[in-house]
Amino acid sequence: MTEVSIEKLTKDYGQGPAVNSISIKIAEGEFISLLGPSGCGKTTTLKMIAGFEDATEGAIRFDGRDVVHMPVEKRDIGMVFQNYALFPHMTVEKNLAFGLEMRKTPKDEIRTRIAKVLDMVQLTGYSERYPRQLSGGQQQRVALARALVIEPKILLLDEPLANLDAKLREEMRVFIRDLQRRVGITTVYVTHDQAEAMTMSDRVVVMFGGRIAQIGTPSDIYERPANLEVAEFVGQVNIIRGKVGNRVVSTAFGDVPVSGDFADGAELMLALRPEAVELLPVNSGATGASAKVLSSYYSGSLVDYRLELAGGTVVNVQTFPRTRFADGDEVLVHAPADRFWPLGSAA
Amino acid sequence: MSKPFFTVYCLIIYAFLLAPIAVVVIASFNAGAFLTFPPQGLSFRWYVVFFNNEVFMRAIRTSLWIAALTMVISGIIGTMAAMFYVTHAGKLKETVRVAMLAPLLLPEVLTAISLLFFVYSVGLGTQNLVGMIVGHVLITLPFVFINVSASMESYDPAWSLAAQSLGAGRFTRFRRIMLPLIKPGVIGGCLFAFIISFDIFTISFMLKGVGMSTLPIQLFDYLRTNFTPEAAAVSTCSIVLTMAVVVISEKVLGLRIHRF
């Protein structure tokens, strides 16, 4: 197992930095996702870790050893590409053997290791097939097996699920995560899909414009976003504005206590996730702000409402369809104070 | 166009293209003393004359030898040029393509004359095969280039990257991944180079040394003074030889294209 340390890594193609002085410490066996919109520098960062791109500045250390000037083929990485990049003229077995042959592994050991890895990705019996004879999901698993069979220092995945259909994608998420836990390999996963990053990772690195916006566990990122950009990129969010006064923000939901240093009189933005809000009938006797249902979308397990609060604030609320409200209904809304997260002063 | 009409149309085109060849082949079995069509009786006598004609046999050996060398040199340079063109040329892509195809666009006789001046001015002369092979490579290079770059277009650069991530160095990546996948283009290009080199007249004529000759030159020389069916026999043999090269390399090396 390998610890990866990225220090002040920068890539500049000549039109301003694509990756701007980022630092990440990845623990042994950790699963890290690089998450961000296209062009945020996440793929460039992965390519620099793999060695396909030179770093303009900074260091990449595998267990303390700087690999910046080491060619790709010497870095001992396992990489899974977006389109799998299986060698089309080789059978599954030959694809898997390739990396081991490069390492001059004895023939009988190659055979046992291929059998083991095929069992691991549940493709025993497929060794004589050519990639074109496999489904997308199977090709994906062969690509994973090919990267893992060489027992690399780190596993790098570049949007590996992007070409699969929705159902298979969810299965593969769980599959990859389980496999990574069993093997215990340090993993860097690049994706623009926040659901993938949240469900699979130990920690998520959110990137915008070549910089790291936030590093944290999935719940850190979701519940305690570092700024407005992160809050809006990861999941749905309501931005509630209010004035600070005496350690309390007065909002359309009522007064919300905030911890942290905010000057009295400043206008503050609070993040409120749609599922943190409770909807109650007006006659329930509960306390809460009154609101009117503008529209609702039923999706089976959940209902999404659009509500208008007094003063014209519109919020999105997601609830279980236990009690249903119709468009135009008056309701009470309530959100626990600890579900409001301050994002900083409103500009 | 309706289907039967189209079939007939294709047959007419093929007949038009292949009729001269058929005429030559049939005329070569002529028993008479002159090159006539239809032949006067069937016989192999002109083949016997041809095989015993040391001048023709030497010309064929020279032609095969030059074609083989041309194929190898053109194959290597053309493949390298195509790899550069597809993966590294960047902004220069169009320039590289035009430069590579230039020998096709210039009249062969101009290329031949320029080469003749060139080989003398660099002191190479025409007493060895070097000048002639340079000329043949020049003419056949575009065919290798076109074939290889076409098969490179369907080559996914990620395959090389994957091989590299698995620990393969530059040479291994080429030998084990890229070459097998662009093989149909390379073999096709090399075959073109061989056949075209075997057939080149103008360049060979300008750059040949005294007393040296290739099959097309020898044939032309022969027809200036003789008009026997031996010429048809020589042509038939060269047609069979070229086709044999194509068929054998397809069987042995495989032109099968990998479908992805």
Are B97 and B220 found together in one domain?
Answer: yes
Nearest-Cα distance to chain B for A186, in Å, is 16
Interacting residues of B87 by C-beta distance below 8 A, sequence separation 6+: B152, B157
- B164/A72 Cβ within 8 A: yes
- Which whole number is the average pLDDT over A271-275? 91
Tens digits of residue pLDDT in B196-212? 998 888 889 888 888 88
Domain identity same for B193 and B156: yes
B246: in domain: yes
Contact assessment for residue A204 and residue A225, using Cβ atoms and an 8 Å cutoff: no
Residue B258 lies in a domain: no
pLDDT classification of A207: cutoffs 50, 70, 90: very high
Return d(Cα B78, Cα B143) in angstroms, integer.
8
Q: Classify residue B105: in a domain, yes or no.
A: yes
Strands (E), A67-159: 77-80, 154-158
Residue of A nearest to B161 (CA): A52
Tokens encoding A150: 């060489």
* Inter-chain CB proximity B168 and A73 less than 8 Å: yes
A236-345: CATH topology: OB fold (Dihydrolipoamide Acetyltransferase, E2P) (2.40.50)
B162·A89 Cβ contact <8 A: no
Assess whether B118 and B242 both reside in one domain: yes
Tokens read off for A69: 């000037």
- The per-residue pLDDT for range A300-332, each reduced to its tens digit, is 889 999 998 887 888 999 998 888 888 888 888
Q: Note the pLDDT of residue B209.
A: 81
Q: Which range is most confident: A211-220, A304-313, B115-124, B242-251?
A: A211-220
User: Is B114 found in the same domain as B1?
Assistant: no
Residue B85 pLDDT grade (very low, low, confident, very high; cuts 50, 70, 90): very high
Kind and range of the H or E element at A284?
Answer: none
Q: What is the pLDDT of residue B260?
A: 44
For A121-126, what is the mean pLDDT? 91
Helices (DSSP H) in chain B: which residue ranges?
A: 3-27, 45-51, 54-83, 93-105, 108-121, 130-153, 157-165, 170-172, 179-199, 202-207, 215-225, 230-253
Residue A214: Cβ-neighbour burial (10 angstroms; 0-12, 13-18, 19+) = buried
The H or E element containing residue A204 is strand A203-208
CATH number of the CATH domain containing B205: 1.10.3720.10
Residue A347 has pLDDT above 60, yes or no: no
- Hey, are the CB atoms on B162 and A85 less than 8 Å from each other? yes
pLDDT band for position A264 (cuts 50, 70, 90): confident
Tell me the chain A residues in contact with residue B254 when contact means C-beta distances shorter than 8 Å.
Answer: none
ipTM of the modeled complex: 0.84
Does residue B151 share a domain with residue B71? yes
Whether B166 and A102 lie within 8 Å, measured CB to CB: yes
Best of A87, A113, A139, A150 to mutate (most B CBs within 10 Å, chain B)? A87
Q: Please check whether residue A41 touches B, CB under 8 A.
A: no
pTM of the model: 0.82
Q: Residue B258: its pLDDT value, please? A: 47
B17 and B108 share a domain? no
Task: Judge: domain A4-232, CATH 3.40.50.300.
Answer: yes
Residues B39 and B57 both lie in one domain: no
Enumerate the residues of chain B whose CB falls inside 8 A of the CB of residue A67. Answer: none
Where do you find CATH 3.40.50.300 in chain A?
4-232
* 3-state SS assignment for residue B86: helix
pLDDT the model gives residue B243: 84
Looking at the fold, whether B10 and B87 belong to one and the same domain comes out as: no
Beta pairing partners, A25? A5
Chain B residues close to A102, C-beta within 8 Å = 166-168, 172
* A48 touching B (Cβ < 8 Å): no
User: Which helix (H) or strand (E) element contains residue A238?
Assistant: strand A238-245
B178 contacts chain A (CB < 8 A): no
Q: How do residues A154-180 score in pLDDT, each as one tens digit?
A: 999 999 998 888 888 888 899 999 999
Q: Which of B161, B168, B259 sits opposite A102 (nearest CB)?
A: B168
Decide if pLDDT at B50 tops 90. no
- Chain A nearest C-alpha distance from B180 (Å): 7
Please judge whether B177 and A77 are an interchain contact, meaning their C-beta atoms are less than 8 angstroms apart.
no
Cα B66 to Cα A235, B123, B185, distances in angstroms: 70, 21, 22
Chain-chain contact of B169 with A85 (C-beta, under 8 angstroms): no
Distance of alpha carbon A64 from alpha carbon A48, whole angstroms? 16
Tell if the CB–CB gap between B161 and A85 is shorter than 8 Å: yes
Determine, yes or no, domain membership for B48: no
B24 and B79 within one domain: no
Tell me how close the Cα of B252 comes to any Cα of chain A, in angstroms.
18
Whether A147 and B164 lie within 8 Å, measured CB to CB: no
What average pLDDT score do residues A41-61 get?
93
Cα nearest neighbour of B179 on chain A: A89
Q: Could you tell me if B19 and B117 lie in one domain?
A: no
Identify the pLDDT of residue A309: 86
Number of domains in chain B: 2
B257 has pLDDT over 70 = no
Q: CA-based angle A4:B156:A39, to the nearest 5?
A: 50
Mean pLDDT of B215-231: 87
Contact yes or no for B158 and A98 at CB 8 A: no
Express each pLDDT in B31-49 by its tens digit: 877 777 777 878 888 888 8
Residue B141 lies in a domain: yes
Q: Residue B256: pLDDT above 80?
A: no
Yes or no, beta carbons of B158 and A85 under 8 Å apart: yes
Interface residue B258 vs chain A (CB under 8 A): yes
Q: Which domain does B221 fall in, by range? A: 53-253
